[in-house]
């Protein structure tokens, strides 16, 4: 039995049409401050490249930006796409962050490129080799953070012994096996990949091996959340997310469109198998409606933490939705123990 489910935010720094990158990043900080005030556990930045509509490309810099301008909320990566990077450099960056913002920095690691194949090759010419070597690359990161690495010829001295929990991110069962075998917490990208969620969670829990840092399995699931004062307003705000995902599927990514009325055509688009699979875990409506949806999701998945993705056009509506989500989670956690 556990008494509560933690709640957090995954931030992609989506650029709304008419906004600059500067405005977008400032809005990310504004949302992080609200998250801190409403007891969100952590605020993670994703890593994406070669997109005019996503501002979260220099992940470690954005983590520092938010950590510097907040006081207690944990800030981290959701995630660092490790095949894009040298494990040594990542260890040095996050070790530095850990000294500047002690006990507040998380390092989530993923295998995907966060971009298209051509860009991945531009980032790192041996990307595919690094992707296939992901477990070994994670091992290198762990070694660089260990005190025992002091005797190694290659060191990330600033990282050694720092408090930077490592999380494995994934959208398939491969990541579940890895996280379980290493005894690391596991975050699943169910905000855009729903197919393998339940299977991956089961694999992780069944295969979990306790480690020095974690004695029991710890699971996080991503969900899209849009909460407004009325059902109609929430559906209207949701149209921006629908169009964004449709653009991803059709190779026509653009800045986030302003919301429109929910039309029959848009409802039909959501029912397309590919889009429906991506948006399956999207909870849209009033606080009352979303509360019921979240309770069902928590009961089905038994996750320890929900990581909310808030893809809404205006920062005012994003903040309002985030406040509502926190209030819903507080109600859920205070009502009764969750199985």
Q: Is residue 67 part of a domain?
A: yes
8 A C-beta contact, residue 15 and residue 24: yes
Q: Is residue 148 part of a domain?
A: yes
Q: Is residue 111 part of a domain?
A: yes
Task: Report residue 339's pLDDT band, with 50, 70 and 90 as the boundaries.
Answer: very low
**Residue 12 to residue 44: CA distance in whole angstroms:** 9
Q: Is residue 200 part of a domain?
A: yes
Q: Is residue 272 part of a domain?
A: no
What is the pLDDT, as a whole number, of residue 338? 45
Which residue range is the domain that position 319 belongs to? 6-232+282-335
Q: What is the mean pLDDT of the chain?
A: 94
Question: Is pLDDT above 50 for 138?
Answer: yes
105-110 and 166-170 beta bridge pairing: parallel
Return the CATH number at 30: 3.20.20.30
What is the pLDDT, as a whole number, of residue 123? 83
**Residue 335 to residue 231: CA distance in whole angstroms:** 24
| Residue 320 host element (H or E) | helix 315-335
Q: Is residue 120 part of a domain?
A: yes
pLDDT digits (tens, 9 = 90+) for 146-184: 999 999 999 999 999 999 999 999 999 999 999 999 999
Q: How many domains does the chain have?
A: 1
Entry pTM = 0.95
**Residue 162 to residue 156: CA distance in whole angstroms:** 11
pLDDT digits (tens, 9 = 90+) for 33-90: 999 999 999 999 999 999 899 999 999 999 999 999 999 999 999 999 999 999 999 9
Q: Is residue 319 part of a domain?
A: yes
Least confident of 126-135, 186-195, 294-303: 126-135
8 A C-beta contact, residue 52 and residue 19: no
What is the pLDDT, as a whole number, of residue 1? 40
Q: Is residue 164 part of a domain?
A: yes
How far is the CA of 311 from the CAs of 27, 205, 283, 320, in angstroms?
A: 12, 30, 12, 12
What is the pLDDT, as a whole number, of residue 2? 56
Least confident of 226-240, 307-321, 323-337: 323-337
């Amino acid at each position: 039995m556990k008494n509560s489910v933690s709640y957090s935010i995954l931030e992609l720094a989506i650029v709304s049409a008419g906004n600059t990158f500067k405005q977008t990043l400032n809005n990310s900080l504004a949302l992080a401050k609200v998250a801190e005030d409403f007891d969100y556990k952590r605020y993670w930045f994703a890593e994406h490249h070669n997109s005019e509509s996503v501002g979260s490309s220099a992940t470690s810099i954005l983590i520092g930006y938010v950590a510097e301008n907040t006081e207690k909320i944990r800030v981290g990566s959701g995630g660092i796409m490790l095949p894009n990077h040298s494990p040594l450099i990542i260890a040095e960056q996050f070790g530095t962050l850990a000294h500047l913002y002690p006990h507040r920095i998380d390092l989530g690691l993923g295998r995907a490129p966060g971009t298209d194949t051509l860009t991945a090759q531009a980032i790192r010419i041996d990307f595919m080799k690094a992707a296939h070597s992901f477990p070994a690359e994670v091992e290198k990161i762990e070694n660089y953070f260990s005190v025992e690495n002091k005797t190694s010829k290659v060191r990330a001295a600033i990282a050694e012994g720092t408090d930077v929990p490592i999380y494995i991110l994934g959208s398939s069962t491969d990541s579940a096996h890895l996280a379980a075998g290493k005894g690391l917490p596991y975050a699943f990208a169910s905000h855009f990949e729903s197919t393998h969620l339940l299977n991956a969670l089961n694999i992780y829990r069944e295969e979990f091996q306790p480690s020095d840092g974690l004695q029991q399995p710890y699971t996080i699931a991503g969900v899209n959340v849009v909460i407004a004062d009325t059902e109609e307003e929430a559906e209207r705000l949701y149209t921006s997310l629908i169009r964004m995902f449709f653009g991803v599927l059709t190779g026509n990514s653009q800045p986030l469109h302003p919301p429109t009325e929910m039309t029959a055509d848009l409802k039909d688009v959501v029912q397309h198998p590919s889009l429906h699979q991506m948006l399956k875990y999207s909870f849209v409506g009033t606080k009352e409606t979303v509360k019921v949806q979240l309770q069902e999701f928590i009961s089905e998945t038994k996750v320890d933490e929900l990581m909310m993705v808030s893809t809404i056009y205006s920062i005012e509506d994003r903040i309002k939705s985030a406040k509502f989500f926190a209030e819903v989670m507080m109600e859920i956690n205070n009502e009764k123990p969750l199985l």
